[in-house]
Amino acid sequence: MTTVIRIQALTKRYSNGTLALDNLDLSVPGGELLVILGPNGAGKTTLVRQITTELRPSAGTIEIFGIDVVHEPQRIKQLMGVVPQEAGLFEHLTVSRHLRYFARFRGATSEEARAAMYCALGELDLERFSAVAIKDLSGGLKRRTLVALALIMNPPILILDEPTSGLDPESRSKVWEVLHRRKNAGSTILITTHYLEEAEKLADRAAIVSRGKLIALGTVDELGTRAARGPAPRTDLTEVYFQLVRGDH
Amino acid sequence: MRFLREIALIFWLYVEESRSALGYFLLSAVALPAGMLLFTTGVAEGKPSIRLLAGSMVFALSMLSVVGLGFTLLEDRFRGRLKLIITSPVSPRSYLLGVFLFALCQGLLSAALMLLFAAVLHLRPHLAWSLPLIAVVSTIPLAAIALMSARYAHNIQQGALLNDLVGTGAVLVCPVFYSVEVLPAPLRYISRVLPPTYAADAFWKVLSDRPGIGFDLLVLGLMSVAVLLWGSHLLPWRDE
């Protein structure tokens, strides 16, 4: 399968000297849903922000469909729907107006934007809230709106930084359903999460990042086998995760 | 074509977002510069003049472009809205021009309202088509000040204070309400590099039907071109 995201020797050292990512290599084939796990401060968001062109790498390369993200950020953004970790919305704008503006930013005509808006509203169960201003929405609904903005106009790649953080179980399962559907339609998806259950439910492969390094990569079963020390392979991701992360520390 | 469409979309996005504050905006667009005109007229022993009117118009532009736009840019950066725009395919230059256009429209409206208010003080300024042009080339360099404070502030409070300080301070240390000879020598030099100096001079000349705005327009025009060419590099579009 064609590699859609290719990361080579990626290193990020911040101006205060912190080494957030250390020589990380990662490839994501087309149509895969890759979940990135890791403790707080492991480098997950630093990795995502470099892929989404928000942060300049100190060294190494990131290519998406063979396009370098540092040199051609605008082309990359056209291919990508992003849920940044701490993004804010326009408080006085309604959900539907957000969707229409962001569809137009992706090059849609007014009519296309309207159609895409209805589609995204339906996908995230936001129809009832379409005319509600963001300031009147709960935190969970704001997060769902951010996910809808990333999905609008069906970009081939989705990069979601903790998309379900703060969502109730029902909303979380709705987002999972949407991501499954998008993956089945051929989208390449990369998400970060702290919910191991989410990784188990969604991931084709999971990557565990700790202290800026990729310490494990594989399917949930492969990770279990790798972490196992006894004769029987462990398949429970929670156990595997703690073993790998603690082992790294 | 896409570039122009993005500018228009960003402009309308901010218009829609600000619509709920329209009443407050109109009030401040009139009250702040009109208050300044009344205050300076009072200091001038109750004699309103075209110079004071020109100064109040520059004050209106400065308040709306440095303080108003500055706060918008700070909110974008510190409340995460910029992140949302950065991760969409909008180019930094489109964003910059869209928000500048938004500030410009506010400034133009406020300055125009001052011309109406002048009638209350029985001032009869000379009106000319060059007035909007002066407003445009004055607002762009002023907006750059807002851009810089949004770029370098460490938090929203610090940036807002900086904007207030620069937005009002730049008008007060420049020969806006008085002639340059009144200023102490160091301020004369500082005022030469600040846009309100040239904006006030150009407004005063046009409103009092005097010739010679060419030099002021040239300086403001060059400042504007510089801002439009390099301003997008000041945006925190990609962190280092």
A53 touching B (Cβ < 8 Å): yes
Query: What is the distance in angstroms between the Cα of A156 and the nearest Cα belonging to chain B?
Result: 14
Q: Assign B98 to helix, strand or coil.
A: helix
A233 confidence band (pLDDT: 50, 70, 90): low
Query: Across residues A59-82, what is the average pLDDT?
Result: 94
Read off the DSSP letter of residue A8.
E
Confidence at residue B229, expressed as pLDDT on a 0 to 100 scale: 84
The answer to whether B27 and B109 have CB atoms below 8 angstroms apart is no
A234 confidence band (pLDDT: 50, 70, 90): low
B151 confidence band (pLDDT: 50, 70, 90): confident
The answer to whether A143 and A166 have CB atoms below 8 angstroms apart is yes
Residue A228 pLDDT exceeds 70:
no
A41 confidence band (pLDDT: 50, 70, 90): confident
Nearest CA in chain A to B240: A56
- Cross-chain CB nearest to A55 (options B9, B20, B239): B239
- Cross-chain CB nearest to A86 (options B6, B17, B83): B83
Confidence at residue A85, expressed as pLDDT on a 0 to 100 scale: 87
User: Please, is A34 exposed, middle or buried when counting C-beta atoms within 10 Å of its C-beta (0-12, 13-18, 19+)?
Assistant: buried
Q: Assign A70 to helix, strand or coil.
A: coil
Interval B49-92: pLDDT, tens? 899 999 999 998 888 888 888 888 999 999 999 999 999 999 99
How much is the ipTM here? 0.89
Helical pair B156-173 and B50-62, crossing angle rounded to 10 deg: 160
Confidence at residue A112, expressed as pLDDT on a 0 to 100 scale: 96
Confidence at residue A126, expressed as pLDDT on a 0 to 100 scale: 94
Query: What is the distance in angstroms between the Cα of B2 and the nearest Cα belonging to chain A?
Result: 8
B168 confidence band (pLDDT: 50, 70, 90): confident
Chain-centre distance for alpha carbon B174: 14
Contact criterion met (CB < 8 Å) for B17 and A93: yes
Interval B173-213: pLDDT, tens? 888 888 888 888 888 888 888 999 999 999 999 999 999 89
Nearest CA in chain A to B79: A88
A182 confidence band (pLDDT: 50, 70, 90): very high
Confidence at residue B142, expressed as pLDDT on a 0 to 100 scale: 87
pTM to 2 decimal places:
0.89
Residue A239 pLDDT exceeds 80:
no
